[in-house]
Amino acid sequence: MKRLVMSVVFQVLMAGQIFGQDSDAVVVKKNTVYVHGGIFNYNGGYERSLITLKSGVINAKAAVGKSNAPDHYGKNLMLAAGYLHGKKSHHLDADMGIGYFSNNTGDFSEFFLVGHLGYRYQKPGGLLVIKVGSGAPEGLYLGLGLAF
């Protein structure tokens, strides 16, 4: 009798584990390195997926770049929190955060808001990432990255 009870308990626990896995969840790799080229800025960055949801992924991003905007020639650093929405290859990519700018002569620096809204192509579990969108500080941008 004890074996029967243990067997039933084990099967119930295993069924909960099997059905607890959501096959509809977004499948993207945890890390991405990328380059963005925009009208006013170009940068290279790193993105880390933090939380996977049914409809998307919450991530953290950090980037360093060079500004070529009029009256803002210099370098910048950006930190942002983002959300990647979509389950297959096509995603809405949005983020918001803060940046720091310093001009080339070092006599001017400022903090600024960072924000992006764009399209991201990445196959589930795929390596290649292609991004296009609009945001600050790049303006319109095109990006290319690798996920791992």
Angle at 123 between CA 29 and CA 43, to 5 degrees: 65
49: its two tokens = 């997926």
Cβ–Cβ under 8 Å, residues 121 and 89: yes
- Is 130's pLDDT higher than 90? yes
Q: Percent of the chain, pLDDT > 70?
A: 82
pLDDT tens digits for range 1-51: 556 555 555 555 555 444 444 456 667 899 999 999 999 999 999 999 999
- Is 117's pLDDT higher than 70? yes
Q: State residue 10's pLDDT score.
A: 57
Q: What is the mean pLDDT of residues 109-136?
A: 96
Whole-number mean pLDDT of the chain? 88
Q: What is the mean pLDDT of residues 141-147?
A: 98
Q: What is the mean pLDDT of residues 89-105?
A: 96
Q: State residue 98's pLDDT score.
A: 98
Rounded Cα–Cα distance for residues 97 and 113 (Å): 6
Rounded Cα–Cα distance for residues 9 and 28 (Å): 34
